[in-house]
């Protein structure tokens, strides 16, 4: 068994032919796609739901507030060396609708914080609520993937928090951006591949979005963000730091220890990757 972090050896299965179980501290599974563990007979577990979910939720809310309150204009004014008071168009947060795409560990915290600010919160997850299952704290409605298109036209803020899988690759494409409420704000704290960046740039060119906050982008570990997005004042891009804070609450090692006890006792492990599902 191996407890790993980021990055991990791409040929780990070949180098450790007797390996039975690998646990990675990161919450997502997409980094494993390029290694030889993916689809192998090795049991692979992740720290899904045990990361710094609250820090990431606070980042998402901060991103919403950055553009909702017009703080982006302050940067433009500073660069121009003068104020343009009429260009500021602050929004009242209370009463607005926030859509959480992927109401898992991160998404549940995003929804709770948005509700605490007075927003109406709707969301999606892989499986809709089952009969008798209570709504998560702060959510007024929680649906399945098919409900996303119904939620987008009424959502002032959209937070992408879902796993990157074949089903969510370029989930936000030209058609989805066309469905989004004009003047809405998009925040992505999941994976860059969930957003079609060309379609995003077109939506910005069309003036459909008030602001975009990206903590991730396609190829983030290989190159800088696309210049077309990074140079746009309506786009705020950070280098995958939404989970960082001065208060370390990552419970990945605790989850590994729980799984280790289960492994030694012959019990099922938590957070085993389903290769077909993608996480």
Q: pLDDT tens digits, residue range 213-266? A: 999 999 998 899 999 999 999 999 999 999 988 877 777 788 899 999 999 999
Per-residue pLDDT for 151 more than 90? yes
170, 234, 240, 251: the active-site residue: 240
Packing angle of the helix pair 53-68, 71-80 (nearest 10 deg): 60
Q: Of all helices (H) and strands (E), which one includes residue 56? A: helix 53-68
Can you tell me the distance from the alpha carbon of 86 to that of 75, in angstroms, rounded to the nearest whole number? 15
Question: How far is 148 from 214, CA to CA, in rounded Å?
Answer: 20
CA contacts within 13 A on the Cβ side of 117:
23
Q: What's the token pair of residue 224?
A: 């800088």
Average pLDDT (151-175) is 96
pLDDT band at 36 (very low <50, low <70, confident <90, very high): very high
Identify whether the C-beta of residue 61 lies closer than 8 Å to the C-beta of residue 69: no
220 tagged catalytic: yes
Q: Which one is catalytic: 220, 234, 251, 270?
A: 220
- Give the chain's end-to-end CA distance (angstroms, integer): 19
Residues 6+ apart with CB under 8 A from 128: 142, 143, 144, 147
d(CA 121, CA 98): 5
Report the percent of the chain where pLDDT is more than 70. 100
CB 101, CB 161: distance < 8 Å: yes
Q: Global pTM?
A: 0.88
The per-residue pLDDT for range 204-213, each reduced to its tens digit, is 999 999 999 9
Cα gap 214→219, rounded to integer Å: 13
∠ Cα 51 55 58 (to 5°): 140
- What does the alpha-carbon distance between residue 87 and residue 5 come to, in Å, rounded to a whole number? 45
**Residue 130 has what DSSP assignment?**
P
How many degrees, rounded to 5, is the angle at CA 180 between CA 176 and CA 186? 95
Q: Which residues contact 104 (CB under 8 A, 6 or more apart)?
A: 48, 49, 125, 161, 162, 163
Q: Which of 191, 208, 210, 250 is catalytic?
A: 191
């Amino acid at each position: 068994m191996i407890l790993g972090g980021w990055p991990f050896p791409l040929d780990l299965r070949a180098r450790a032919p007797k390996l039975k179980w690998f646990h990675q501290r990161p919450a997502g599974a997409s980094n494993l796609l390029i290694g030889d563990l993916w689809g192998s007979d090795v049991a692979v577990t992740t720290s899904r739901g045990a990361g710094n979910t609250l820090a990431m939720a606070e980042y998402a809310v901060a991103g919403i507030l950055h553009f909702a309150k017009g703080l982006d204009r302050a940067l433009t004014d500073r660069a121009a060396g003068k104020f343009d008071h009429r260009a500021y168009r602050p929004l009242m947060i209370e009463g607005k609708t926030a859509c959480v795409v992927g109401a898992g560990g991160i998404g549940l915290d995003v929804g709770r914080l948005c509700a605490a600010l007075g927003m109406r919160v709707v969301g999606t997850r892989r499986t809709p609520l089952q009969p008798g299952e209570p709504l998560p704290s702060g959510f007024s409605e929680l649906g399945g993937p098919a409900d996303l298109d119904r939620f987008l036209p009424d959502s002032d803020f959209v937070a992408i928090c879902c796993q990157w899988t074949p089903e969510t690759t370029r989930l936000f494409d030209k058609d989805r951006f066309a469905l989004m409420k004009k003047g809405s704000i998009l925040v992505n704290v999941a994976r860059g591949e969930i957003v079609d960046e060309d379609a995003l740039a077109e939506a910005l060119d069309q003036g459909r979005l008030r602001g975009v906050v990206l903590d991730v982008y396609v190829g983030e570990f290989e190159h800088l963000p696309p210049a077309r997005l990074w140079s746009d004042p309506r786009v705020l891009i950070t280098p995958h730091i939404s989970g960082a804070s001065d208060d370390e609450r990552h419970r990945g090692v605790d989850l590994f220890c729980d799984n280790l006890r289960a492994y030694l006792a012959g019990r099922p492990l938590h957070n085993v990757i389903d290769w077909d599902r993608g996480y």
